[in-house]
Amino acid sequence: MRDRFRRVLIVVEGVYSMDGDIADLPALIQVRRRHGALLMVDEAHSIGVIGATGGGVGEYFGVDRGDVDLWMGTLSKSLASCGGYLAGSGALVDYLRYTLPGFIYSAGLTPPNTAAALTALRVMRAEPDRLTRLRQRSAEFLRLAREAGVNTGTSAGTPVIPCIVGDSLRCVHLANTLFERGISVNPILYPAVEERLSRLRFFITGEHTSEQIERTVQLLADELDTLVPQQLVEVQ
């Protein structure tokens, strides 16, 4: 199969944005090696989230960063700004600088956005308890949700925690009902996920309190109870 293609690029997310599981990066690096492929990691949901100092999936697994051809991330999530980054070998970065349409016809990062992201990074390094709290709160939400019978899919203790409902209309209805009770959660529908895997996607932050988490899971469980059971997807 591999010999049918001149180049192969494997693209993965560090933490999966819809399911909250973590890519098995060491295994993917082996696949890259074995098949002479290129590997790209989107760290949108892993930078500032996993890894001892929030350094992302590379730090989480302690892999040689040079074993990934292209690191990509956004500044718009844990880094509280707007814009993004690409990192790779000097040759690759030069190539991208002169060929990516986005670099040819659009402006770069603004100074305020750059300063905001840099400050977020510095705060993260200076105040590691923020990451500890984020992990504790995420684990707390996941545990309570599972105990309440919520289908959290393959979420692996990251701050991305789905509640798989399996029906777009019900998802939107649930999201609206929770919003009226002061809880902001987005419904994720087809084509972001398969229709049968439509879900609410909860994002936990280190600023959420235990009380907020308990109340949210309780309200979610109460609302799910009002749905007809066979219309919920079975726990995977």
**Which residues of the chain form contacts with ligand PLP (CB under 6 A)?**
13, 17, 42, 44-45, 74, 76, 84
Asked whether 40 and 72 are in contact (CB, 8 A), the reply is yes
Specify burial of residue 112 (Cβ count, 10 A radius: 0-12, 13-18, 19+): exposed
If the CB atoms of residues 74 and 152 are measured against ligand PLP, the closer one turns out to be: 74
Non-local (6+) Cβ contacts of 28 within 8 A are 10, 12, 39
Q: How far is the CB of 72 from ligand PLP (least distance, A)?
A: 7
Q: How far is the CB of 221 from ligand PLP (least distance, A)?
A: 27
Non-local (6+) Cβ contacts of 87 within 8 A are 70, 71, 72, 93
Q: How far is the CB of 83 from ligand PLP (least distance, A)?
A: 7
CA–CA separation, 142 and 148 (whole Å): 10
Q: How far is the CB of 128 from ligand PLP (least distance, A)?
A: 25
If the CB atoms of residues 82 and 227 are measured against ligand PLP, the closer one turns out to be: 82
If the CB atoms of residues 21 and 140 are measured against ligand PLP, the closer one turns out to be: 21
Q: What are the backbone angles phi and psi of residue 161, rounded to the nearest 5°?
A: -130, 110
If the CB atoms of residues 74 and 198 are measured against ligand PLP, the closer one turns out to be: 74
Residues with a catalytic annotation lie at 17, 45, 77
